Amino acid sequence: MTTDSRTSWSWTKMLIVAVPVWLLVSGGVGLFLHFHYQEKERQEQQHAYRKDINAKSIADDFLKISSWVGARHHQSAEARAGLLRMASMIEGALGVNNIGYEVSKMAGQTQGDFAAPLLLADVLRRKTKEEIWLIVPYDSLASLPRGQASASAVAVSFAVAQSLVGRRFERNVRFLYVPMVYADEPGRSDMAAQVQRVIATQGGSMQVLVLGSMLHEGKLTALTRDARQPLACEASDLVNASEDAKICLQGEGEFSALLFEMSVPASLLLKKPVAEMTTEQEDSIEPGAVVLAQSASDVVEVLTRLAGDSQKK
């Protein structure tokens, strides 16, 4: 055997040994990382606990927001204080000492010398290739004393967040609580641009839902400029999707349209009243606890469908 032949044979033997070893090592590393992520999520949520949707609890949260917190906007000192109380309530309700989420706070748009924060929490606590976002407005129209539409959205979101604790999804579900959704222009546009940036930096969005009024009975309605969005395709039995180029319902609808114009796959998700009513009339109704609880259950079902619940497979 020539020297070249011996050298070639030596390299062949090395490859025969090295390739299986490399495959074993790389496979072992992959398994380690997989179980490491699972253990990390388990450890991070050890203080969190899932709780079934409770009508009384949601009604209590709604009452606290609409009565104790009250008006939440930038146009008076009292209402600005209401925004800060609302932000503190959100952070406390979702945080590690209560439901158990890790809540990130980001500075919002400044008006004068005042800015209310954005608050972010997510179910999986890690990025996934596609993600589902629930945008929850926590401000209110300046013309309304209670802001019950967004109060119902926040109260429902608390129950939704708690019911999703520890769930295993294919797509992460992120909750983003936002002020200035009901603000006048240009504040609303500036806030939409900030939300777009937050979504872009956190991960790829498959569907973005702006949570509107949850005060009414009936099926969920999605108002969107693109009725072909995943919400309509994957949850058509749960939601009536309506394509509407002139969405403007108490401000939050226009906010979802602004996001859509920024190439964000956004829709407004709400419970529509049976009969037409003004914003002032809606701000005075008293929703039943059962109605709010059913709204929360419906939103949970939609998010579970969109996120791809691996526990059902």
105 shares its domain with 55: yes
Q: How far apart are CA 204 and CA 219, in angstroms?
A: 28
234 shares its domain with 294: yes
Residues 180-187, mean pLDDT to the nearest whole number: 88
Full domain range(s) for residue 63: 51-312
Q: What CATH number is attached to the domain comprising 99?
A: 3.40.630.10
287 shares its domain with 147: yes
Q: How far apart are CA 162 and CA 139, in angstroms?
A: 22
- Is pLDDT above 80 for 162? yes
154 shares its domain with 201: yes
60 shares its domain with 36: no
pTM metric for this prediction: 0.82
| Positive or negative: CA dihedral 195, 98, 54, 87 | negative
118 shares its domain with 12: no
pLDDT band at 311 (very low <50, low <70, confident <90, very high): low
189-237: pLDDT as tens digits? 999 999 999 999 987 799 999 999 999 999 999 988 887 889 888 888 9
pLDDT band at 9 (very low <50, low <70, confident <90, very high): low
In this prediction, residue 7 carries a pLDDT of 60
Domain count, the chain: 2
129 shares its domain with 236: yes
The sheet carrying 220-224 orders its strands as: 104-106, 118-122, 172-178, 131-137, 205-211, 266-270, 220-224, 239-243
37 shares its domain with 177: no
